[in-house]
């Protein structure tokens, strides 16, 4: 199949020459001579790539670019700009242009840019397809093959399809509660209505109350008019009450009433208003402890618990750690235009033994950082934060460093420098010549290690790897 190129330029000669040149090779070329035509033709014929002159007679090229990106964020747009007008081109890059090329251009150069752009777009689409299937929050976008995640996905599918109006999501920070709440909403019959995210810890109680319930004129000082509440506005949709554990006690009672009766009154109001809203509540705190402490209502707790989802911590699902890592790497390769293949074996081991207190969010951040720094094919421990790179083995070394251990001294005595040299040699041997591994075995930083290796002339025992 020939790929379709849309050429947008008001100069006829340029359009003609592009059609002549590109049309002869493997592309089908369609043209537009102004911004309006371009948008119309774009929406009708969905080209694979757009060559866009930034100076158009009827509207700014940037505007055209933004509209195109609004229709299809993955389509590559290459800006054609007059010689010396680089600044506009650079601005266009900020709005998502793939690259720019200056007039007059060599057709060969342009061909290369087009090829690269198409290849890049292909990869981007692959990733998006994986991620979205039918929207950003498809069930398929929940990464995880562990038994617990498989089970969880099944329940999520069921909840989404059900009429259950309350769901409680419990789990440590970063386990994906926000994310799952969105999936539940998007996969439910409520998806065409709004999803409203209310953070109960971020606002003072009375403000949350007036947001949720709305108010009538004069309900409190400053209420000069009436206002609809979120329960009213989002009827038919979903309200996500994040950090429900921090909701104030009185408001908890009012919430329970809404859940039970599906009706509520605006603040200062007298009429009962019906609402059909699904409430997804989330917490990373121990609600039972809060209940014992008397800050969380027992009746609300039991009511919410009817449909409860427990997000498992990442450390309890080892295979997902590796799977998620690979997904994040694949995704970021596209974003950062890198070609990192995966985790090095050593990194895998460290990842599997680390406790991940920040769960998936922490893993994502760690990978993002490592990808920026890494220049090898695999992510090596060198670019991991210290708390992860220092494996359990090393921690044991450190713990034991106060203890004594036995190094026999021969009758004739020994040279302490030789002992050090021998230790370095041994570490390199154990690490098969890999510097960072060897350095870690001796609890030395890379520079400190390298310095000693040079001092003792052991460079020959290092492998090419570092
Ligand atoms: N199973 C998963 N697959 C893919 N991405 C995930 C998964 N779980 C979590 N994430 C990602 O991890 C990040 C953290 O998730 P999220 O914000 O939903 O956590 P949370 O449980 O709400 O945390 P907190 O309690 O701190 O609010 C998000 O970027 C989310 O997209
Ligand atoms: Mg959250």
Residue 180 tokens, joined: 């799952």
Q: What's the rounded mean pLDDT across residues 8-14?
A: 92
Quote the pTM value.
0.60
Helix, strand, or coil (residue 240): strand
Q: Which of 132, 158, 187 is where one domain is finished?
A: 132
Confidence label for 274 from pLDDT (cuts 50, 70 and 90): very high
Distance from residue 171's CA to the centre of ligand 2 (Å): 10
Q: For 399-414, how does the pLDDT look when each residue is reduced to its tens digit (9 = 90+)?
A: 445 555 667 777 788 8
Q: Which of 242, 361, 363, 364 to mutate to test the pocket of ligand 1 (most atoms within 8 A of CB)?
A: 361
Together in a domain, 302 and 170: yes
For every residue of 185-205, DSSP letters joined together read HHHSTTTTS-EEEEETTTS-H
Kindly state whether residues 299 and 438 are assigned to the same domain.
Answer: no
Question: Do 125 and 174 belong to one domain?
Answer: no
Mean pLDDT of 63-77: 85
CATH number, residue 251:
3.40.50.300
pLDDT of 129 reads 47
For residue 99, give the DSSP letter.
Answer: E
- Atom 16 of ligand 1, residue of closest alpha carbon: 176
Q: Do residue 148 and residue 255 come from a single domain? A: yes
Confidence at residue 266, expressed as pLDDT on a 0 to 100 scale:
94
- Residue 73: the pLDDT is 75
Residues 6+ apart with CB under 8 A from 220: 206, 210, 267, 268
Six-digit token string for 344: 């090095």
Confidence at 392, pLDDT banded by 50, 70, 90: low
User: What integer is the mean pLDDT of 157-180?
Assistant: 92
Both tokens assigned to 296: 């969380």
- C-alpha distances (whole Å) from 287 to each of 300, 303, 343 are 11, 13, 37
Query: Can you give the pLDDT at residue 114?
Result: 93
Predicted confidence band of residue 193 (pLDDT cuts 50, 70, 90): confident
| Tokens of residue 176, six digits | 């994906």
Alpha carbon nearest to ligand 1 atom 26, residue: 173
Span 82-118, pLDDT tens digits: 877 778 888 888 888 998 888 888 888 899 999 999 9
Q: Calculate mean pLDDT across residues 1-28.
A: 88
pLDDT in tens, 437-458: 888 888 877 777 888 888 888 8
* CA of residue 77 to ligand 2 center, whole Å: 36
Residues 449 and 367 in one domain: no
Distance CA 140, CA 355 (A): 26
The model's pLDDT over 344-359, given as tens digits with 9 standing for 90+, comes to: 999 999 999 999 999 9
Within this chain, do residues 151 and 278 fall inside the same structural domain, yes or no?
yes
Residue with tokens 């509520």: 264
What pLDDT is attached to residue 273?
Answer: 94
* Residue 466 belongs to some domain of the structure: no
pLDDT digits (tens, 9 = 90+) for 301-342: 999 998 999 999 999 999 999 999 999 999 999 988 899 999
Tell me the percentage of the chain whose pLDDT exceeds 90.
47
Please report which confidence band the pLDDT of residue 126 belongs to, taking 50, 70 and 90 as the band edges: low
CB atoms within 10 A of CB 301: 17
Residue 406: inside a domain: no
Ligand nearest to the CA of 176: 1
**Domain, as residue range, for 22:** 3-132
Q: What's the structural domain count of the chain?
A: 4
Residues 372 and 242 in one domain: no
Query: Chain-wide mean pLDDT for the chain?
Result: 87
Measured from CB, residues less than 6 Å from any atom of ligand 1 are 142-144, 171, 173-179, 284, 360-361, 364
Protein residue with least CA distance to atom 29, ligand 1: 361
Report CA-CA distances (Å) from 10 to 144, 177, 183, 341.
51, 51, 45, 44
317 vs 201 pLDDT, higher one: 317
Domain of residue 93, CATH code: 3.40.50.2300
Q: Which atom of ligand 1 is nearest to the CA of 169?
A: 21
Q: Which ligand lies nearest the alpha carbon of 139?
A: 1
Work out the average pLDDT over 55-76.
86
Q: Which residue has the higher pLDDT, 262 or 463?
A: 262
Q: Examine the fold and report which residue of 268, 287, 310 is the final residue of a domain before the chain moves on.
A: 310
| 146 lies in the same domain as 253 | yes
Cα separation of 240 and 308, whole Å? 14
């Amino acid at each position: 199949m020939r790929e379709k190129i849309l050429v947008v330029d008001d100069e006829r000669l340029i359009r003609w020459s592009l059609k002549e040149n590109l049309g002869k090779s493997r592309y089908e070329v369609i043209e537009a001579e102004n911004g309006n035509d371009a948008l119309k033709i774009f929406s009708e014929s969905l080209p694979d790539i757009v060559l866009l002159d930034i100076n158009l007679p009827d509207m700014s090229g940037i505007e055209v670019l933004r509209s195109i990106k609004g229709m299809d964020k993955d389509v590559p747009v290459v800006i054609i700009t007059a010689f010396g007008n680089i600044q506009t081109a650079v601005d266009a890059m900020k709005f998502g242009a793939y690259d720019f090329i200056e007039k007059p251009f060599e057709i060969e150069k342009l061909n290369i840019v087009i090829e690269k752009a198409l290849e890049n777009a292909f990869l981007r689409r692959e990733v998006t397809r994986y991620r979205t299937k039918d929207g950003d929050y498809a069930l398929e976008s929940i990464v995880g093959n562990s038994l617990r995640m498989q089970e969880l996905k099944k329940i999520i599918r069921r909840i989404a399809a059900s009429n259950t109006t309350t769901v409680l999501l419990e789990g440590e920070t970063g386990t994906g509660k926000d994310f799952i709440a969105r999936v539940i909403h998007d996969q439910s019959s409520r998806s065409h209505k709004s999803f409203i995210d209310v953070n109960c810890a971020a606002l003072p109680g009375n403000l949350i109350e007036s947001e949720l319930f709305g108010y009538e004129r004069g309900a409190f000082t400053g209420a000069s008019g009436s206002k609809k509440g979120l329960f009213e506005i989002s009827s038919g949709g979903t309200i996500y009450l994040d950090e429900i554990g921090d909701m104030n006690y009185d408001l908890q009672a009012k919430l329970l009433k809404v859940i039970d009766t599906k009706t509520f009154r605006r603040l200062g109001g007298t009429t009962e208003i019906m609402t059909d809203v699904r409430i997804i509540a989330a917490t990373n705190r121990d609600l039972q402890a809060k209940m014992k402490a008397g800050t969380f209502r027992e009746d609300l707790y039991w009511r919410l618990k009817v449909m409860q989802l427990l997000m498992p911590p990442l450390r309890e699902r080892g295979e997902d750690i590796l799977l998620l890592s690979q997904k994040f790497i694949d995704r970021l390769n596209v974003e950062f235009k890198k070609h990192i293949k995966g985790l090095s074996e050593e990194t895998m081991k460290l990842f599997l033994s680390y406790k991940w207190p920040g769960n998936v969010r922490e893993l994502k951040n760690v990978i993002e950082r490592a990808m920026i720094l890494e220049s090898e094919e695999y992510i090596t421990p060198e670019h991991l934060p210290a708390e992860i790179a220092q494996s359990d083995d090393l921690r044991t070394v450190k713990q034991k460093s106060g203890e004594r251990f036995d190094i026999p001294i021969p009758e004739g005595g020994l040279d302490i420098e030789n002992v050090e040299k021998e230790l370095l040699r041994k570490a390199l041997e154990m690490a098969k010549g890999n510097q960072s591994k060897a350095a870690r075995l001796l609890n030395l930083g890379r520079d400190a290690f390298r310095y000693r290796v040079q001092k003792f002339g052991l460079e020959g025992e290092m492998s090419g790897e570092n």
